[in-house]
């Protein structure tokens, strides 16, 4: 016997879930927007490789920005399966926390002047993680 979805969750539970999902989505898109708007600053500090032009740094910055979008489907697959196994709520909470940590970690990465080639590699790796977790938000939160 099937039970309508409306009967499974109380009104308060639905509101909390909606608010949590909305806050996570807002934070995610805010971070993506800030990264895009500050691309020139990010390029100068992280992707301005020795001997390369400013345009090369800007293109690498945008490539780092775009790579996150390619990993979203993989994140949806990974965290969608995780949600099927352990539940949507714990998965969504995990994904939101990890997205927050990845975003904060980007803010803590030393610049190219201090870290060398590792700086853009770390930023790009964190952007990949953000893409995975963003895909998990859509796959697990919906």
From first to last of its 142 residues, the chain has per-residue pLDDT tens of 555 555 556 787 778 777 877 877 787 778 778 888 999 999 999 998 888 888 999 999 999 999 999 999 999 999 999 999 999 889 988 998 998 899 899 999 999 999 999 999 999 999 999 999 989 987 665 5
Which pLDDT score is estimated for 142?
54
First to last CA, the chain: 24
Residue among 53, 47, 65, 56 nearest 109 (CA): 47
Instruction: Give the span between the Cα atoms of 65 and 81, in whole angstroms.
Output: 26
Instruction: Give the span between the Cα atoms of 51 and 48, in whole angstroms.
Output: 8
The b-or-e profile of 18-27 (16+ CB within 10 A means b, else e) is eeebeebeee
Q: Which two tokens mark 137?
A: 């938000």
pTM of the predicted model as reported, rounded to 2 decimal places: 0.80
Cβ neighbors of 67 (< 8 A, separation 6 or more) are 124, 127, 128, 131
Instruction: Give the span between the Cα atoms of 36 and 42, in whole angstroms.
Output: 9
Instruction: Give the span between the Cα atoms of 9 and 25, in whole angstroms.
Output: 21
Cβ neighbors of 68 (< 8 A, separation 6 or more) are 32, 127, 128, 130, 131, 134
Which pLDDT score is estimated for 28?
72
């Amino acid at each position: 016997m099937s039970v309508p979805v409306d009967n499974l969750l109380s009104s308060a539970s639905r509101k909390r879930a909606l608010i949590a999902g909305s806050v996570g989505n807002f934070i995610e898109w805010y971070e993506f927007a800030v990264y895009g708007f500050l691309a020139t600053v990010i390029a100068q500090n992280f992707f301005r490789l020795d001997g390369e032009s400013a345009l090369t740094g800007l293109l690498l910055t945008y490539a780092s920005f775009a790579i996150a979008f390619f990993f979203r489907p993989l994140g949806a697959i990974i965290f969608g399966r995780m949600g099927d196994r352990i539940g949507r709520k714990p998965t969504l909470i995990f994904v939101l926390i990890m997205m927050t940590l990845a975003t904060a970690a980007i803010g803590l990465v030393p610049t190219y002047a201090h870290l060398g080639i590792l700086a853009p590699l770390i930023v790009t790796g964190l952007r990949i993680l953000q893409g995975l977790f963003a895909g998990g938000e859509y796959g697990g939160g919906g």
